[in-house]
């Protein structure tokens, strides 16, 4: 263990722990759930729970919200996040890949970090423990460039089909001619386990952005989410379910230790 001055008792130099920055993406202009990032859930904007998750995890030297909106930036700062600059509008469209704003932000931050994490506002039930588990797992997997949250699929891809051009016939999406029993004809329990990504958590070494021009690199570690950790608000049905889960006490939101944001009595975004 290092002494207070950073030296090891055995005389060898101390190894510094990697530094990490937490990014909370929050562009304006959500289409399926209007104003999703700032829409109130249990008294606070959805964005607040992602910021609190990142702060409470204790994993990050800095929690940065990436947004193209000054109104969202004001809310983010109220809840304790840093917004050093706004995201260029060209990197904030509904089709903009994350790698664009991510590379831009890493380049323009005044500090350099070894790791970054994406803590998306759309997963309100993930909580700080999931972030801590994810970081510990990536650090214990030195061969991995990054870690991404996944969960067991409910609709197995072995039972998916592709329609012909005239939609009169169909064929399996996945080739199964080598199997004695086709996956589409088998019971779910007999099929190979397949996992689908969710947006609860991504952590990566920052070098992968410059080395591979991707946010994940070449070798990914799976982070298995539990329960509602992977629950994602994609549409109005998801939003309504989130409200029901909270109201029924079936899901917990990170505690927010400050009053709701209210620049003029209410959030009007």
User: Is the distance from CB of 194 to CB of 153 less than 8 angstroms?
Assistant: yes
Query: Across residues 131-143, what is the average pLDDT?
Result: 98
* Beta-bridge partners for 23: 64, 118
Of 180, 189, 183, the residue nearest 154 (C-alpha): 189
Most confident option among 6-10, 13-17, 249-253: 249-253
Query: Across residues 149-159, what is the average pLDDT?
Result: 95
pLDDT at 58 over 50: yes
Lowest mean pLDDT segment, chosen from 7-21, 74-88, 158-172, 209-223:
7-21
Indicate the pLDDT class of residue 1, thresholds 50, 70 and 90.
very low
pLDDT at site 31:
79
pLDDT at 200 over 60: yes
Residues 191 and 189: their CA atoms lie apart, in Å, by 6
Q: Which residues contact 195 (CB under 8 A, 6 or more apart)?
A: 150, 151, 152, 153, 222, 224
pLDDT at site 229:
97
Euclidean distance between the first and final Cα of the chain, in Å?
Answer: 49
Give CA separation, 186 vs 156, 157, 177, 229, 236, in Å.
11, 12, 14, 30, 34
pLDDT at site 29:
80
pLDDT at site 4:
38
Helical pair 46-57 and 127-139, crossing angle rounded to 10 deg = 50
Indicate the pLDDT class of residue 264, thresholds 50, 70 and 90.
low
pLDDT at site 5:
41
pLDDT at site 17:
87
Indicate the pLDDT class of residue 15, thresholds 50, 70 and 90.
low
> E strand or H helix at 105, and its extent?
helix 98-108
pLDDT at site 7:
42
Query: How confident is the prediction for the chain on average, in pLDDT?
Result: 91
Neighbours of 59 (CB within 10 A): 21
pLDDT at site 203:
98
pLDDT at 265 over 50: no
Query: Across residues 93-111, what is the average pLDDT?
Result: 94
More confident of the two residues 140 and 267: 140
Query: Across residues 100-125, what is the average pLDDT?
Result: 97
Strand pairing report for 115-118 and 161-163: unpaired
User: Is the distance from CB of 124 to CB of 253 less than 8 angstroms?
Assistant: yes
Query: Across residues 46-72, what is the average pLDDT?
Result: 97
pLDDT at 267 over 80: no
Residues 104 and 91: their CA atoms lie apart, in Å, by 9
Give CA separation, 76 vs 84, 137, 224, 234, in Å.
11, 28, 28, 21
Query: Across residues 120-136, what is the average pLDDT?
Result: 97
* Beta-bridge partners for 7: 13
pLDDT at site 77:
97
Q: Could you give the domains of the chain?
A: 20-148+199-247 (3.90.550.10), 154-193 (no CATH)
pLDDT at 2 over 50: no
Of 248, 200, 254, the residue nearest 226 (C-alpha): 200
Tally DSSP H helices, then E strands, for the chain.
Answer: 6, 10
pLDDT at 262 over 90: no
Query: Across residues 77-87, what is the average pLDDT?
Result: 97
């Amino acid at each position: 263990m290092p002494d207070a001055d950073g030296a090891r008792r055995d005389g060898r130099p101390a190894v510094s722990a990697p530094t990490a920055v937490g990014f909370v993406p929050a562009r304006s202009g959500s289409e399926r759930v209007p104003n999703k990032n700032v829409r109130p859930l249990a008294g606070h904007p959805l964005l607040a729970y992602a910021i609190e998750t990142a702060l409470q995890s204790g994993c990050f030297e800095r929690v940065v919200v990436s947004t193209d909106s000054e109104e969202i930036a004001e809310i983010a700062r109220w809840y304790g996040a840093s917004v050093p600059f706004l995201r260029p509008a060209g990197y904030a469209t509904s089709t903009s890949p994350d790698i664009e704003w991510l590379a831009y932000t890493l380049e323009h931050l005044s500090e350099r970090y070894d790791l970054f994490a994406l803590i998306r506002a759309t997963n309100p039930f993930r909580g700080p423990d999931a972030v801590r588990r994810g970081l510990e797992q990536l650090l214990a997997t030195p061969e991995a460039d990054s870690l991404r949250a996944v969960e067991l699929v409910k609709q197995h891809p072995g039972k998916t089909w592709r329609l012909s051009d005239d939609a009169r016939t169909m064929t399996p999406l996945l080739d199964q001619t080598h199997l004695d029993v086709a996956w589409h004809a088998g019971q779910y329990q007999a099929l190979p386990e397949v996992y689908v990504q969710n947006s609860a958590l991504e952590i990566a070494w920052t070098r992968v952005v410059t080395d591979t021009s991707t946010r994940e690199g070449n070798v990914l570690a799976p982070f298995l989410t539990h329960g509602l950790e992977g629950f994602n608000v994609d549409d109005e049905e998801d939003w309504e379910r989130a409200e029901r889960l909270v109201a029924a006490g079936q899901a917990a939101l990170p505690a927010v230790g400050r009053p709701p944001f209210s620049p003029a009595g209410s959030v009007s975004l």
